Each structure stands twice: as structure tokens, then as C-alpha cells.
Amino acid sequence: MTSPAGVKTRICMISDTHTNTPRPARFTDYPFRNPLPKADILIHAGDLTKLGYYAEHETTIAMLKAADAELKLVIAGNHDITLDEDHFTSFGFFRHRRILYKDLAEQSSFDDDEQTISNTLREGHFPPPEELKAYARSAKDLYTNQAAWDSGIRYLEEGTHTFTLSNGASFSVYASPYQPEFFRWAFAYPRDEDRFNVPVPGSGKPVPANPVPDHPQVDIMLTHGPPFGILDRVRRGGLHVGCENLLEAAERARPRLYLYGHIHEAWGSVRGVWDAEAGGGVSQEDIPTDQEEMLDNRCAFYDASSTGERPLRFGKETIFVNASICTLSYDPRNAPWVMDFDLPTGNNDRQEKPGA
């Protein structure tokens, strides 16, 4: 439905599935069950797998292909080590030697990684680099080949991407699989590195390759890691572990939607109001959920469109969503988020090509 505010568009959001697929329909105590809710757009915010095995990617690809959505946007996460070729070929492959696939479902903590990795390194066995590269590229090809393209899957590298739907909506997405360094997983950057904001001239700081554009150039921000202070609190110590630079970038961009995962225990959604009058920052209002409704509907639903009770004020508000499906113990018990937004109309057809 088109209104002066734009085209009403439904988005289904998931993250951190870690090779889990929707439970069979009869498992009514899981909101994450078949079929996934129908939507115009399905977005997966990374951690598609537990450890980046080719067989895990095949499982996730099958889930994405089966989903009822015209467009399926996907980024990688820190566990998808084969999608970060440089990381996988230099270090990440050691994880494949270290943990058996069958053991991963019971793996709830990786706090002892460094000692385990050190023991493995002492073995001194290194696969040929070309063999590692070929394996990593074969995994990525699953998301970028013609079959994936034909099913609506678009694998997003870091940067800004533009899409047009058959309903007339034309919108932009800033995507990044990166998050601050955490136990030497994939797609990591030092916490003091700013990948997302152009520095002040004369500061001497490097200009990032793919900074987040200013408002109003971004409709959706999609990162694996969260911004600081918003649905990023870990259970251990209750600390906020999100990225301060992402928060700064989000305030500049002021997207309609900001979707991420990574911190399983911080699943949820808030309505953020950019509060420049109070000295900057964002005030947060939790978006309520009802457990019985989530189980019945197979999702948590919110209408931020012009037909909702409180239409989103683009530029003044952003809906933040942590869509982690897995709990801290890697049980896929969290619900997908489904939301309606008004997206702009236009004739922009700049879309990535298969295999790009």
C-alpha cells in the first residue's frame, strides 16, 4: 500500500541462527518454527553458522531459499569464519581442527579459546594455502551464485547497497559484518578503530574505506555487532559491549531501522528518539512483546508504518532490533521480528549482480 509517507513494506528479521533452522510446525513452544513469516524482505544479520563449515552454510542456504520473501538480505558474522577469507586462511582454519561439528550444539562458552588455540598451534600442521582459499570461496559461492540470486538472496559486503522491490519501494542499506575484536573470531577490528565515521580534517586519523553515509541516505543499517548502549548488554557483569563508533554513525545516519545481533541475551527491540535538544544521544523506549502472541504468530510484530498507532518519524526516530534467534546457550528459542515500515518510492535499480 502506497501513502504520502511511502510504500508499506513488511520486513522479517533474524540473526544468530548458528545453523539452526525453524523447528517443525508442531513444535508450538518455539516461535522460530516453520514456516517463517511471509514478508517482502527477509534480513539475516549474521552468524549464519556455528563454525563456518561448508555443510553448515548449505543448511542455512536451504532455509533462506525456502523463506517466503521477495528479497533476502544476508551479512556474515564472527562465527562465519569461512566468509572472511583472510581470517580463515591465516588463523580461522585452526577452529575446524579444534572443535567437532557434533559438539557445537552443547558449546555455550568460548572463554577458554586462547589456551585451546595455543595447544592446536603447537601441532604444527598447516593445510596448503590454496586449499584453504578454495574451501572458503566455495562457501561464499553458495550465497552469491545464480541459484542464490534467483531465490532472492543478496549477500552484502561492507558498504551501502540500494534495492527496488516490485511494490515500488526503493531503499538503501548500509551493511557491515564487522564487530570489535572478540577472542580472535572473524570480521573483527580493534575497539579503538573507527570503521564507520569520517574523521575531522587535520586529525591525522585514517579515512575508513566504507563509512556510514549521513541522513537521509540510509533507510536501514545492518551490522552484526550492536551499537554501544542499545540492546548490547551481556549477562556476565551486565556490561554494555557494543561499539561507540557505530552509535555515532547511527546518530548521523538516523535510519528507519537498525538491525543487528551478536549479543544473544540482548534480544529485543527499542524505539529510539534522537534527542539533540538534550545534548545528543538517543532515548530508548522498549517495544513490548507478548509470549503467547509470539508463539501463535511465530514472530514478534510491530507496525511502524503510517497505518500503525505511532508512525515512525524518519530522521527523528530509529527502530533498533537485536534479532538473535539463539539464546546464550545456543537454543533457538527467540522469536523473529516482523515489522512494517513505509519505504520511499523511486526508480533506482542499482542492484548487485550475481557473483559480484
The string of pLDDT tens digits covering residues 179-203 is 999 889 999 999 999 999 999 888 8
Q: How confident is the model at residue 122 (pLDDT cuts 50, 70, 90)?
A: very low
* Residue 87 · residue 186 · CB < 8 Å: yes
Q: How confident is the model at residue 237 (pLDDT cuts 50, 70, 90)?
A: confident
Residue 234 in this model has a pLDDT that exceeds 70? yes
> Which pTM value belongs to this model?
0.90
* Residue 339 · residue 319 · CB < 8 Å: yes
CA dihedral (313, 268, 16, 190) positive or negative:
positive
b (16+ CB within 10 A) / e for 220-252: bbbbbbbbbebbbbeeeeeebbbbebbbbbbbb
Query: Which three three-digit cell numbers place residue 314?
Result: 524518519
- Domain membership flag for residue 248: yes
> What is the per-residue pLDDT for 276?
61
Instruction: Report which residue type is found at 313.
Output: R
- Report the SS3 class of residue 260: strand
- Domain membership flag for residue 349: no
Q: How confident is the model at residue 236 (pLDDT cuts 50, 70, 90)?
A: confident
Residue range of the domain that includes 37: 2-343
Looking at the chain, which runs of residues are DSSP E strands? 2-3, 6-14, 39-44, 69-74, 153-155, 159-164, 170-176, 179-180, 188-189, 220-223, 257-260, 268-274, 282-286, 300-303, 317-322, 337-343
Which CATH number covers residue 146? 3.60.21.10
* Residue 49 · residue 15 · CB < 8 Å: no
Rounded Cα distance between 27 and 240, Å, is 34
Rounded Cα distance between 18 and 331, Å, is 10
Q: What's the average model confidence in pLDDT over 47-63?
A: 94
- Domain membership flag for residue 63: yes
In which residue are the cell numbers 542499482 written?
A: 350
Helices (H), the chain: 54-66, 85-87, 93-98, 113-121, 129-144, 146-150, 244-253, 291-297
Rounded Cα distance between 226 and 247, Å, is 8
- Domain membership flag for residue 354: no
Instruction: Report which residue type is found at 206.
Output: P
- Domain membership flag for residue 353: no
- Domain membership flag for residue 348: no
Rounded Cα distance between 299 and 293, Å, is 8
Residue 352 in this model has a pLDDT that exceeds 60? no
- Domain membership flag for residue 351: no
Task: Say which range, 35-49, 76-90, 93-107, has the weakest mean pLDDT.
Answer: 93-107
Total domain count, the chain: 1
- Domain membership flag for residue 203: yes
Rounded Cα distance between 296 and 93, Å, is 41
> What is the per-residue pLDDT for 95?
81
